[in-house]
């Protein structure tokens, strides 16, 4: 399951909300309040995140998180506030898998604080504060094992402030190069970091968040699929003449959900079929498939979707001229990929 650049930005913003103190309030296990990032000190604004249960056709209960923010109300897409709540629930103790304490909801009372050594929550007391480059840090003491510790939710073992890490990841997803991200952090936050540190943060948090995001239920897809291919420059893989490969992307029309992405050395029928097969394994049968008229799409469509029984999947050929065709939805996605590839000067492998 893949995510669009917009979805990646929402995930990063969800993590950014998690790093802010007292930004999430738990009413009960089905009701949370998330503070709006546009709130001011004079007037705070909170959104309700509620899990609703209904009955599907099979009679089974299915829960869905809803948000009272305008974006979710009018577009019905998972936005940053829902990501913040789901991350705090589902990724507790799972955000980092190796040698890092797990992500959890920021403790509001001493009853929520757990000693990392004895794993107990009883007899935990505050033990003063210390100031470092992360800011003012609350220290705790376990009177059971006499172990002193601090809590840095989701960013344990990181030398930099959580806001610096979130800002760096956000800049990267917006198309800024690693060296320019490090330069931005130095200029505006006066925190010297190396560009390889930014890469490690992206790898550390991105790879750990991906399995959870991939496990999220599919949105309400429209059933109209757009598919297109693009050339990507690969410096260290020489194929016949030149260094390039083909990237295939398949996306839903209404939700802009990135269903499938495959890379191949050719644009043959077997390559297009692999994209359709991947989409079939993840989504129900579509109503229509829209493409740019490449002959391999027609042949692959006949192999994977053609049937004499109703309802039939429509094969729509649309040649786009200056984004005026029917396939501009996925072509805009290609533009995002091209922007990233341009910044990277192509890909190594």
* pLDDT tens-digit readout, 155-178: 656 667 778 888 888 888 888 888
Q: Is the pTM of this model over 0.85?
A: no
CA distance 33 to 312: 45
Confidence of residue 100 (pLDDT cuts 50, 70, 90): very low
**Residue appearing with tokens 């890469």:** 199
Are the C-beta atoms of 9 and 173 separated by less than 8 Å?
yes
Confidence of residue 278 (pLDDT cuts 50, 70, 90): very high
| Cα end-to-end distance, the chain, whole Å | 22
Confidence of residue 103 (pLDDT cuts 50, 70, 90): very low
**Parallel/antiparallel/unpaired status of strands 288-291 and 147-150:** unpaired
CA distance 282 to 218: 9
State pLDDT tens for residues 245-274: 899 999 999 888 889 989 888 899 999 999
**Parallel/antiparallel/unpaired status of strands 24-28 and 314-317:** unpaired
Q: Which residues of 233-265 are buried (b: 16+ CB within 10 A; e: fewer)?
A: ebeeeeeeeeebbbbbbbbbbebbbbbbbbebe
Answer yes or no: is pLDDT of 241 > 90.
no
Average pLDDT of the chain? Answer: 77
141: tokens are 């003491």
CA distance 66 to 222: 20
Answer yes or no: is pLDDT of 244 > 80.
no
Are the C-beta atoms of 275 and 262 separated by less than 8 Å?
yes
pLDDT for 221: 87
CA distance 291 to 293: 6
pLDDT for 124: 86
Selected residue with higher pLDDT from 314 and 153: 314
Backbone angles phi, psi at 12, to 5 degrees: -65, -40
Q: What is the SS3 assignment for 248?
A: strand
Q: What is the SS3 assignment for 63?
A: strand
Give mean pLDDT, residues 103-127.
Answer: 71
Give mean pLDDT, residues 279-308.
Answer: 92
Backbone angles phi, psi at 105, to 5 degrees: -70, 135
pLDDT for 1: 46
Are the C-beta atoms of 151 and 136 separated by less than 8 Å?
no
Selected residue with higher pLDDT from 95 and 219: 219
- Strand-pairing partners, residue 66, are 50
Distances (CA, A) of 119 to 112, 124, 145: 12, 11, 10
């Amino acid at each position: 399951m893949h995510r669009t650049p917009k979805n990646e930005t929402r995930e990063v913003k969800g993590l950014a909300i998690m790093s802010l103190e007292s930004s999430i309030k738990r009413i009960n296990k089905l009701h949370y309040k998330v503070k709006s990032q546009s709130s001011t000190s004079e007037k705070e604004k909170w959104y309700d995140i509620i899990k609703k249960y209904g009955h599907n056709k099979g009679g089974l209960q299915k829960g869905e998180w809803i948000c009272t923010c305008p974006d979710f109300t009018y577009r019905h897409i998972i936005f940053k506030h829902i990501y913040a709540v789901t991350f705090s629930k589902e990724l507790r103790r799972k955000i980092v898998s190796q040698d890092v304490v797990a992500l959890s909801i920021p403790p509001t009372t001493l009853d929520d604080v757990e000693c990392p050594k004895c794993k107990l929550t009883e007899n935990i007391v505050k033990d003063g504060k210390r100031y470092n480059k992360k800011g003012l840090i609350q220290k705790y003491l376990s009177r059971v094992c006499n172990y002193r510790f601090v809590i840095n939710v989701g960013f344990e073992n990181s030398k930099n402030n959580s806001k610096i890490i979130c800002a760096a990841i956000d800049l990267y997803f917006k198309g800024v190069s690693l060296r320019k991200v490090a330069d931005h952090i130095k200029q505006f936050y006066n925190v010297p970091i190396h560009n390889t540190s930014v890469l490690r943060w992206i790898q550390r948090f991105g790879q750990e968040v991906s399995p959870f995001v991939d496990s999220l239920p599919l949105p309400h897809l429209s059933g109209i699929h757009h598919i297109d291919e693009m050339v990507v420059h690969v410096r260290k893989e020489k194929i016949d003449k030149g260094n390039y490969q083909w990237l295939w992307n398949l996306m839903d029309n209404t939700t802009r959900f990135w269903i499938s992405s495959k890379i191949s050395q050719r644009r043959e029928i077997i390559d297009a079929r692999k994209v359709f097969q991947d989409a079939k394994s993840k989504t129900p049968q579509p109503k229509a498939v829209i493409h740019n008229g490449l002959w391999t799409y027609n042949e692959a469509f006949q192999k994977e979707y053609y049937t004499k029984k109703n309802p039939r999947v429509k094969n729509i050929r649309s040649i786009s001229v200056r984004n005026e065709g029917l396939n501009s939805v996925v072509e805009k996605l290609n533009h995002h990929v091209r922007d990233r590839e341009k910044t990277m000067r192509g890909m190594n492998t």
